[in-house]
Amino acid sequence: MQTASTKQLTQSNFVPMAIVAAMFFILGFATWLNGSLMPYLKQVLLLTPFEASLILFSFYIAVTFTAIPSAWVIRKVGYKNGMAMAIGCMTVAGLLYIPAANTQFFGLFLFAQLVMGIGQTLLQTAVNPYVVRLGPEESAAVRVSIMGILNKGAGIVAPIVFSALIASSFSGLVGKELSKEEVDMMADSLILPYLGLAGFLALFAIGVKFCPLPEIIETDEKDAGGTVREALAHPSLVFGVITIFFYVAAEVIAGDTIGAFALSLGVANYSVMTSYTMGFMVTGYILGIILIPKVISQQTALTCSAVLGIVLSLAIVFGNSESLILANTFLVPFGGVALPDTLLLIAVLGLANAIVWPAVWPLALSGLGRLTSTASGLLVMGIAGGAIGPVLWGLVSGIGDAKSQQFGYIVLLPCYLFILYFALIGHKKRSW
């Protein structure tokens, strides 16, 4: 964002954008592993939909108590050191999954998820405003969309990797009662992949620490960041935080519960279903890069996304899970798998969700100047919607059969309605 209060080191933006792009890929890979991990642990540990939703809750709830401290950390140590610290924290989290798998103790899995969420929050607090401020405000959505392609592209890759390394060996166990030996094998299969993930993250953290990443320097250190009260005096920011909350709730429900719903429908390859949702999100990001701002504005794109989300939510809740019309029309003729219509409609939600994040950030941060870092911390707090949304879905899903889980997607409706409000009215408010 172009403000008088900030300056950047004089050098090409290509190298820092490439490094930040790698961070967005890592964020996406670690985040969207949840879409495969949730149904996998649901099967291994015999979890109810509500218990399984706690896997997502523990990951995203970290945002509620670490977002503001993360903004403080970034102001103290700088964006570059903050990013390295964040990836280091994610390394520790990766190591925690190993004893969790050894003991099969659900609470330890939840703790590992919590630590991973803390690292993700710190990284999100640093990289999102960094990307926004590396160029003009009016094209910020395009830059964030490019990062989003990598983030969601990782969301396509992560479930496929998870399935190839872990779940594919146990696809024949879907829908049957597991023996103690089968449970042990499924749990032990998590150890080596997470050890490899932790090792890669450790190396990347060291690389970020010593890489040529320019710092965004606050010229007025005394006033940099501002207070939370000052930031909350801007209605557009407050509504932006609420919008992010509802958006992330919808995004996580669409991306991470689709595997659990597929498991309830008896779909053997449930662990890769998140890849379908992420594929549509990548498509949405590409459309955003092409259309914004040359053809449509960030506001118009956000409005279209909200309307599409409302229509799809109603179609999912009241659709027929036994119908295969969509798959027989668009997948099977090209060698794809015959999947229920409702499952594919959940995946299409990725298209509705794609533009929301990159459009809300610049609209919510517009004109905040020195308050940007604090405002960014507040916006990142909105990621807590990823904790609450799946839990509400789990509660509404009740006993956990396919029909009740399908109705659980009714919680998406208020999410998209508020996103529509922000697109049409909320982002324009400049005073209370």
Domain contains 72: yes
Q: DSSP alpha helices (H): ranges in 292-371?
A: 298-317, 325-330, 341-353, 356-365
Q: Which helix (H) or strand (E) holds 8?
A: strand 6-8
Half-sphere exposure at residue 65, Cβ-oriented, CA atoms within 13 angstroms: 6
Does pLDDT of 7 surpass 60?
Answer: no
The DSSP 8-state label assigned to residue 3 in this structure reads -
User: For 168-218, what is the HEC assignment?
Assistant: HHHHHHCCCCCCHHHHHHHHHCCHHHHHHHHHHHHHHHHHHHHCCCCCEEE
Domain contains 34: yes
Angle ∠(193,194,200) on CA atoms, nearest 5 = 95
Q: What CATH code is carried by the domain that includes residue 34?
A: 1.20.1250.20
- What crossing angle do the helices spanning 412-424 and 298-317 adopt, rounded to 10°? 160
Per-residue pLDDT reduced to its tens digit, 358-399: 889 889 988 887 788 788 778 878 888 999 999 999 999 987
Structural domains of the chain, count: 1
Q: Which of 104-108, 232-236, 285-289 has the highest mean pLDDT?
A: 104-108
Residue 7, helix vs strand vs coil: strand
Interatomic CA distance for residues 324 and 344, integer angstroms: 9
User: Residue 421 corresponds to which amino acid?
Assistant: Y
Q: How far is CA 269 from CA 53, 167, 254, 255, 266, in A?
A: 20, 8, 17, 15, 9
Find out whether 55 and 183 touch, Cβ atoms under 8 Å. no
Domain contains 1: no
Interatomic CA distance for residues 85 and 127, integer angstroms: 13
pLDDT at 224: 54
Does pLDDT of 217 surpass 80?
Answer: no
Interatomic CA distance for residues 100 and 372, integer angstroms: 38
Half-sphere exposure at residue 269, Cβ-oriented, CA atoms within 13 angstroms: 16
Rounded mean pLDDT, 152-181: 86
Does pLDDT of 320 surpass 60?
Answer: yes
Burial of 293 (0-12, 13-18, 19+ CB in 10 A): middle
Domain contains 202: yes
Interatomic CA distance for residues 179 and 156, integer angstroms: 31
User: Residue 108 corresponds to which amino acid?
Assistant: L
Query: What contacts 171, CB < 8 A, 6 or more positions away?
Result: 268, 269
Structure token digits, residue 142: 């395009």
Q: Domain span at residue 39?
A: 6-428
Interatomic CA distance for residues 13 and 342, integer angstroms: 43
Interatomic CA distance for residues 257 and 355, integer angstroms: 20
* pTM (predicted TM-score): 0.82
The DSSP 8-state label assigned to residue 167 in this structure reads G
Least confident of 214-223, 227-236, 419-428: 214-223
Rounded mean pLDDT, 227-231: 84
Structure token digits, residue 186: 């499924």
Q: Which has the higher per-residue pLDDT, 379 or 220?
A: 379
Per-residue pLDDT reduced to its tens digit, 242-281: 999 999 999 999 999 999 999 999 998 899 999 999 999 8
